[in-house]
Amino acid sequence: MIGVGLIGGSLARALRAAGAVDEVVGCGRGRPNLEQAVELGVIDRFSHDIAEAVQDADVVFLSVPLGAMAGAFAALRDHLPAHALITDGGSAKGSVVHDCREQAPELLARYIPGHPIAGTEHNGVSASFAELYQDRRVILTPLSENAPESVALVRQMWEACGAEVTEMSVEHHDEVLAATSHLPHMLAFGLVDMLARLKENDEIFRYAAGGFRDFTRIASSNPVMWRDICIANREALGPMLNAFAGEMNLLAERIHRGDGEALLEIFERAKAARDRFTDGMK
């Protein structure tokens, strides 16, 4: 586990609960977090050095910020056992594949990109729990270089955690996630930042109701991680933000005109779409 936080820690807990692993080795920079991971039974031992941590690995899971992926691949390049596979939990896949291709092209055949669609706004190994991936989707974006049996092993790993595994292309993944995950986070961050800069911000937050708390919960997510996601997936996220800005301008115009019929049409269409979505959720 290169990076033992919420995502990596929860994967380790889930695999332990399923009896699917013998030993889990953690790697990271923060010693207190790694020591806590040992105390909690998430990992068996740890190292601050990637080369040392992976020397006996069967599978390496990269759970570091997207901006740190290139360095992780460079550190793995000459130290990964010949049989070992690599996968990851990065929220944007194109940038991570690019980093592998640039830093360690010889590892592309053994790197199976993945992304668990799960998480919370909390960070660190103390926030991890074994049930995080139960009945949640995990997307794999296999590369042409990957052997079918390698993809099958990574699929088996996630299914052991209770996840539903699907596959799609790298490009399609980044477009879908820009719309369904990255854009909502940008809206939450942007709204909270805008309100915090208002003169009356104390009063605004004091009287915020449950809807505001629900919508802005994800603005408590890791800022470094989301900065990296924005940069890594900017080609898909940028147009999505522009499209949403246009929608908001249109909405503002209709409100300004007092066009109740147009507003009702938008709201009813949105409600129907949302209701269909929630009815289909597990």
Enumerate domains of the chain plus CATH numbers: 6-168 (3.40.50.720), 173-279 (1.10.3660.10)
Which positions of the chain have pLDDT values less than 70? 278-282
Q: What pLDDT, on a 0 to 100 scale, did the predictor assign at position 279?
A: 53
Contact between 63 and 2 (Cβ < 8 Å): yes
b/e map 7-17, b = 16+ CB within 10 Å: bbbbbbbbbbe
Q: What pLDDT, on a 0 to 100 scale, did the predictor assign at position 204?
A: 80
- pLDDT tens for 71-99 read 999 999 999 999 999 999 999 999 999 99
Distance of alpha carbon 202 from alpha carbon 245, whole angstroms = 27
Q: What pLDDT, on a 0 to 100 scale, did the predictor assign at position 109?
A: 97
Local structure of 65: helix, strand or coil? coil
DSSP 2: B
φ/ψ (deg, to 5) at 209: -95, -175
Residue type at 209 in one-letter notation? A
Q: What pLDDT, on a 0 to 100 scale, did the predictor assign at position 53?
A: 97
CA 86 to chain centre: 17
For residue 225, give Cα distances in angstroms to 30, 77, 110, 141, 267.
16, 24, 25, 21, 33
Q: What pLDDT, on a 0 to 100 scale, did the predictor assign at position 278?
A: 64
Q: What pLDDT, on a 0 to 100 scale, did the predictor assign at position 81?
A: 94
Give the sign of the dihedral formed by CA 206, CA 122, CA 139, CA 243.
positive
- Closest of 49, 170, 17, 14 to residue 25, by C-alpha: 49
The two three-digit tokens of residue 105, written as one number: 């092209």
How buried is 232 (Cβ within 10 angstroms: 0-12 exposed, 13-18 middle, 19+ buried)? buried
